[in-house]
Amino acid sequence: MEPNEALGIAAQVAVALAGFAGVVVVFKPDPVPRLSRLDRTRLQLLLHNSICPLAYALFGMLLLSAKPTPDSVWRWCSAFALVFQAPGAFIAFRNARNLTPEEYRNSNKLLLYSIGGMGVVSLLLQVYNVTSLNLFWPFFLSIVTHLVAGMLQFVRMVMLHPDKE
């Protein structure tokens, strides 16, 4: 599959995931301002993990449409991803650290640590892609990481029984 095709598909999936995030908000029993802090954090992660891959894919398509295509297109794309991924990781880490012991017990630790681990690996690969590689796959991995994290977060929010909280 060519990079422009993969980016187009990723953008479509990201838009669908963002739409699903809206569905989650609409069908929650409480409006957003009255959601628990843990639910707001989950919703924030879901939105972040759907908007970022869309922005990455669109930026990649923009650079691929430039004639002639720059030689360092994937280096630029990975740098663009780092600009959004690093602050997002910091905010997610800060929110996780600020959970109360009760909220932490109600969170799925396996999901929390696996998504965090995927994010760290993706961040490190972006740095390596900017400094050395200049390849498509590390950049695309950051898109896939966000999409997988968003899908897992979506499933978690939909499947979470209100009485468990």
User: Which of 65, 67, 54, 72 has its CA nearest to residue 18?
Assistant: 54
Q: Vertex 116, ends 128 and 4: CA angle to 5°? A: 50
Q: Is 154 exposed, middle or buried (0-12, 13-18, 19+ CB in 10 A)?
A: buried
Q: What is the pLDDT of residue 119?
A: 92
Q: What is the mean pLDDT of residues 72-90?
A: 93
> pLDDT tens digits, residue range 138-158?
999 999 999 999 999 888 877
Q: What is the DSSP string of 47-76?
A: HHHHHHHHHHHHHHHHHHHSSSPPTTHHHH
CA 29 – CA 83 distance, rounded (Å): 35
Q: What is the mean pLDDT of residues 9-32?
A: 84
Helices (H), the chain: 3-27, 37-65, 73-97, 101-106, 109-128, 136-159
Average pLDDT, the chain: 88
- Half-sphere exposure at residue 64, Cβ-oriented, CA atoms within 13 angstroms: 16
Q: What is the pLDDT of residue 112?
A: 84
CA 164 – CA 145 distance, rounded (Å): 28
Q: What is the pLDDT of residue 39?
A: 79
pTM over 0.95: no
Confidence of residue 165 (pLDDT cuts 50, 70, 90): very low
**What's the Cα-to-Cα distance from 12 to each of 50, 55, 104, 163, rounded to whole Å?**
10, 11, 33, 34
